[in-house]
Amino acid sequence: MTSSTPHPADRLARAVLRTLATLPRPVQRLIGGRPLRIDGAELDTEVQLGLRLMTLAAGTTFENLPLPEGRAQIDREAWIVGAATEVGDVRDLTVDGADGPIPARLYRPHHHAGERLPLLVYFHGGGFVLGGLGAADSVSRFLCANAGVAVLSVDYRLAPEHPFPAGVNDAIAAFDHAIAHAEELGIDPTAVAVGGESAGGNLAAVVSLATTIEARTRPDRPVPCFQLLFMPVTDLSTKHRSYELFGDGLFLTEAQMDWYRDHYLTDPAQAVDPLVSPLLADDLTGLPPAYVATAGFDVLRDEGEAYAQRMREAGVAVGTRRHRGIVHGLVNATGVGHAATAALAEAAGALQLGLRSSVLATDGGNR
């Protein structure tokens, strides 16, 4: 949330959620209701409690609000559930885009002053329509502090004002800017990864795909060294089985995904473009190594896992993790309970390993 004076109701909601997250599990279960089991998995107790409270407090959901109000609601929710993990330095800047400057935010961890660090270029979620630097702040801080890397969070243009391919163009431009301005940013240009959550995971996958395709005919074309994909959108052309299982009442709904798609694409036929739906790409060989995390109770679960499997079949090194008991977007809830921080801590380890492997491959193992 960008405002320094949150609304009193938001402050209260933040305090209540943090208090409930400290209750013993039996008490959380009593408040949250009977266990919910779908497709062989049980929803985590603290997650079910949070969903029940959101349902009780819910007003009009964002897709039924005027767009500015929907965006403000998402920003408030991000502040309510997020936590400002302490890092060494945070500064706002702009990166070069084909259509003008792109706002961004650079995070650096403690005790690395003057050191050229590995970098994660991070793209926030929000269905290509919502979100921004504030919504990505808690994840960016957590990964910066716990993986010991710099994080460049990118405020790419949003639909419907800027439909596909504007966000894709901004994402590629931000990656290219990081490589070109490595010295200025204090980062190692041989160790630049991309990552994101939901729509941001889509953009990270698409940056990797687009640059890899270009590098096949232009060997000097920089390509990300690693992909960190949280619950990514990989196929807007088809509703996979997880839509049927988890399409309503579990945070991200089928109706909201339809709303996102209709705002992002100006023509339904664009859904089969691999730069919209990377799962549909003909050839995934040569992509950077990847870590793909999915949520067990998420409409996007199956397409994320299908993309991981296709990359693996193409010879790409892929680590996968289905967090069986959580819902979509929970990685942003670093201030509430343990599920988000556990998932992010595992991802931070995968990111460290991926970036370390890239540096060793570049310098022949001399570091």
Give yes or no for residue 3 having a pLDDT over 50: no
- The mean per-residue pLDDT over the stretch 178-199 comes to 97
Q: Tell me, what's the pLDDT at 21?
A: 86
> How far is it, in rounded angstroms, from Cα 83 to Cα 137?
8
Q: Tell me, what's the pLDDT at 204?
A: 98
- The mean per-residue pLDDT over the stretch 105-134 comes to 93
pLDDT per residue over 42-75, tens digit each? 999 999 998 888 776 656 788 889 999 999 988 8
Whole-structure pTM value: 0.94
Token duo for residue 12: 């209260």
Q: Tell me, what's the pLDDT at 57?
A: 63
Give yes or no for residue 191 having a pLDDT over 60: yes
Give yes or no for residue 34 having a pLDDT over 60: yes
119: which strand partners?
150, 192
Using a 10 angstrom Cβ sphere, with 0-12 exposed, 13-18 middle and 19 or more buried, the burial of residue 365 is exposed
Asked if residue 160 has a cis previous peptide bond (ω within 30° of 0), the answer is yes
> How far is it, in rounded angstroms, from Cα 296 to Cα 268?
28
- The mean per-residue pLDDT over the stretch 197-216 comes to 98
Q: Tell me, what's the pLDDT at 16?
A: 86
**Cβ-contact 52, 33 below 8 angstroms:** yes
Residue 366 — pLDDT band, cuts 50, 70, 90? very low
Comparing C-alpha atoms, which of 86, 133, 127, 66 is closest to residue 106? 133
pLDDT per residue over 66-104, tens digit each? 999 999 988 888 999 999 999 999 999 999 998 999 999
- The mean per-residue pLDDT over the stretch 178-202 comes to 97
Q: Tell me, what's the pLDDT at 4?
A: 56
Helix residue ranges, H only, 153-226? 166-180, 182-185, 199-215
- Please give the radius of gyration of the chain, using alpha carbons only, rounded to the nearest integer: 19
> How far is it, in rounded angstroms, from Cα 363 to Cα 259?
46
Give yes or no for residue 188 having a pLDDT over 90: yes
User: How high does pLDDT run on average in the chain?
Assistant: 93
**Active-site residue numbers?**
198, 298, 328
Q: Tell me, what's the pLDDT at 1?
A: 40
Comparing C-alpha atoms, which of 11, 7, 9 is closest to residue 335? 11
> How far is it, in rounded angstroms, from Cα 133 to Cα 257?
21
pLDDT per residue over 281-298, tens digit each? 999 999 999 999 999 999
Q: Tell me, what's the pLDDT at 289?
A: 97
Report phi then psi at 187, rounded to 5.
Answer: -125, 165
Residue 289 identity (one-letter amino acid): P
Q: Tell me, what's the pLDDT at 367?
A: 35
Comparing C-alpha atoms, which of 6, 50, 59 is closest to residue 31? 50
Give yes or no for residue 164 having a pLDDT over 90: yes
Q: Tell me, what's the pLDDT at 60?
A: 75
pLDDT > 90: percent of the chain: 81
Using DSSP's 3-state secondary structure scheme, residue 332 falls into helix
